[in-house]
Amino acid sequence: MHRIRELLGDERGSSPVEFVLVGTLLTFLTLAVLQLALAIYVRNVVHYAAVEGAFHAALADTSLAQGADRTRAIVTRAVGAEYASDITVTETGTGDRPEVEVTVRTTLPLLGLLGVPRLLEVTAHAPAESFD
């Protein structure tokens, strides 16, 4: 019985096990924070591109297609062409206050740049200009 208590009370070799357990947990948490940062970065880039595209399309001497092209170019340059596949530009608003609306639906990155397609959606508005 004394020998069993001695063996159960022996803590030799516990440091490497603790290191592996704590190291695994800290590695997982670090990777989770980095993935969250990447998702926020992609969302911010797509939102900025939508705003820029809306203001570009709202200019009096540009078309809605040019606003979509500008949005697509910004997203493609920052995060890749696969994130710029679903861009919609429409004119909204009332007759005396027309607006341009740009909506971008893209992938929300969940594992690296892989994720769920069309899960992230951002919309931007800009007042339409005219020569009147």
Number of folded domains that form the chain: 1
8 lies in a domain? no
Q: pLDDT (tens digit, 9 = 90+) per residue, 89-124?
A: 999 987 788 999 999 999 999 998 889 999 999 999
Which range of residues forms the domain containing residue 105?
13-127
4 lies in a domain? no
3-class state of residue 130 by DSSP: coil
7 lies in a domain? no
Q: Give the CA-trace dihedral at 78, 79, 84, 88, to 10 degrees.
A: -60
53 lies in a domain? yes
Q: pLDDT (tens digit, 9 = 90+) per residue, 65-79?
A: 999 999 999 999 999
